[in-house]
Chains A and B, each alone.
Chain A
Amino acid sequence: MKKFPRISNLKSKISAILCIFLGVMSFSSLASEGTFLHVSFDPTRELYEEINKAFLKEWKNKKGNDFAIQQSHGGSGKQARAVIDGLDADVVSLALSYDIDSISTKSGLIDANWQKKLPNNSVPYYSTIVFLVRKSNPKKIKDWDDIVKPGISIITPNPKTSGGARWNYLAAYGFAKRKYKSDEKATEFIKALFKNTSVLDTGARGSTTTFVQRGIGDVLITWENEAKLSLDEEKRSGKNTLEVVYPSESIKAETPVAVVTKTATEKGNLEKATAYLEFLYSKEGQSIIAKHFFRPTDAAVSKASAKEFPNIKLFSLSDLGETWDSAQKKHFADAGVFDAIYKTK
């Protein structure tokens, strides 16, 4: 009688499977050792593609060797969570300092004083929140006051799921707080704003799609770079249906960067990581940043690109007397102001 399958055969099969398994394991661990990983948020994809190329060129000129930079993009909060959960990033660039703080406090991978390590509180570039409206502005939207009027349909992402949307929210809140000088009035203002909101996408890009491609809504609250990118894309496809409106004042949306010290040290990438982030502050880095519609922090470069970035009044989070921690607790945490907006009773 035949024995099927033969034991020796089976043994060799098992060992073959084991070999493949071990091979894959060792390959993947090797791969992670030699790489340099930059974890960033969504709208910076094109920006960092260009930054990486320029930086590597400079690195090769100085040090004579080459390496590859890997990029990972996603929602800011999601990216922070991935790093906390063990994604071995060497540097992070996120939409809010709150997310980097979270990595620091929850995992200890980033030093607590990370904001002091690079110029300008580790913020190499920033942006602001503006309006995108339909061509020739049929609803006559000029400022924040106009969008809370009844009958206006607003598109903005959900601040609970999108880091960028928290800037949108705080821009509106800050405007009202500065104008009416009262927290209550500002909360009322925010309530009216979200009452007018017809679609809350989970991310900024989703909101842009809803507004531009689907034609929903009268006004999109969005980052300046995202608005300019939409105009740019329309220009390229020969369409002309949108217009950017700058409100009288808006928030300074500061997007920080940090070296993930512990991971970078373990991977032997600390020097590269520091040089990489410092490159963002260089003349070359800053002009690439301006080209991608983020506002540069370098005085000379921002003067040269002043035409691109209208000079509107910008207030920062600290001007509102808030830190990210307090703003998070007050507005976006469970049972915060944002939750209260949608309470029916």
Chain B
Amino acid sequence: MLIETRPYKKLHFGISLGLTVFYSSAVVVIPLLGLFFHSLGIGVSGILEVFADERIRSALFLSFSVGFISALINLFVGFLFAWVLVRYNFPFKKLLDTLIDLPFTLPTAVAGIALTTIYSQNGIIGSFFDKWGIKIAYTPIGIVIALVFIGFPFVVRTVQPVIEELPKELEESARCLGATPFQTFYKVLLPELWPSLLAGTGMAFARSIGEYGSVVFISGNIPGKTEILPLLIVTKLEQYEYEKATSIALVMLLTSFVFMFLINLLQERASKKLS
């Protein structure tokens, strides 16, 4: 007799699919459609007009550029963290592993206030840099630091399991065939890792451009200089201009979606190549 390892019936499938569809429409699809229809109130030309404003364009540029820079930093820092956590043993390793999730659980406003305290002119780190004439808080550098803080768990947590599952034989055979450590890393390990690195970085990036709570405290919010897009959404809401607010949100949403979609495609291609 065959042993049924997965004895789930059609009925079970029906119920679970039903629940999934219900849940995803109630929580994700319907609110987002609402957003979509709300902005359609002013039409596509209206949406474009919103972005004709110089302030909004400069915030758009700032949000995407600091998001990109911080995602790039997170790519390296996150990878390093994941690597160290998997490959080495050291005291308090479990503690460090737990600390990484903190940016996920901490309210971002708390993170923003804490970072501003440390990096402002009279803060512990800020005062040190201030001596050299470098300002961190209330400049784009401060925003990048906040975004690195909230984004790096994404990279660590997506790459970590992949490093864990790399077969030992892979490196051993590479070394046996005469590859240097660098060659082993670059030609053997990296192709295995980069789909997950890409995914983590993409998520960190998407999160960064939408981040509000931590950034408003450290950025100083000067229009044209350190004003980010999510702040402009809040600004529009304060003025009861719901359509303009949702149009900005919609553009951010679409961009993030396209970005994530491209990354998923790349990832799929990479993993096909590997297998």
A interface residues with partner B (beta carbon < 8 Å): 1-5, 7, 10, 75, 77-78, 81, 102, 106, 158, 160-161, 197-202, 206, 209-210, 213-216, 332-335, 339, 341-345
Contact = CB atoms under 8 A, between A and B. Distances in A.
A4 B220 contact: no
Nearest to B239: A333
Nearest to A201: B221
A160 B238 contact: yes
B9 to A, nearest CB: 8
Interface stretch (B87-95, B113-121, B246-254): B113-121
A210 B116 CA distance: 9
25 contacts: A2-B7, A10-B15, A75-B238, A78-B237, A81-B240, A160-B235, A197-B222, A198-B220, A199-B138, A199-B222, A200-B223, A201-B217, A202-B216, A214-B116, A214-B120, A214-B121, A216-B121, A216-B138, A332-B239, A333-B239, A335-B53, A339-B55, A343-B54, A344-B54, A344-B224
B169 interface: no
A4 B239 contact: no
Contacts of A216: 120-121, 138
A215 B122 contact: yes
A158 B220 CA distance: 10
Count class of interface residues, chain B: 20 to 34
B268 interface: no
A167 B216 CA distance: 21
Given A75-B238, A201-B221, A334-B239, 8 more contacts: A7-B11, A77-B237, A197-B222, A198-B138, A199-B220, A214-B123, A342-B55, A342-B223
Nearest to B120: A214
Contacts of B11: 7
A332 B137 CA distance: 27
The 9 A-B residue pairs with the shortest CB-CB distance in the complex, in nearest-first order: A342-B223, A77-B238, A214-B120, A199-B220, A215-B122, A200-B221, A160-B235, A342-B224, A202-B216
Contacts of A2: 7
B231 A202 contact: yes
Nearest to A339: B55
A339 to B, nearest CB: 7
B4 interface: yes
Nearest to B223: A342
Contacts of A344: 54, 224
A215 B221 contact: no
Nearest to A332: B239
Contact of A161 (B120, B123, B235): B235
Given A10-B15, A214-B122, A344-B54, A199 B221 contact: yes
Contacts of B53: 334-335
A160 B221 CA distance: 11
A4 B238 contact: no
B234 interface: yes
Given A7-B11, A202-B234, A1 B54 contact: no
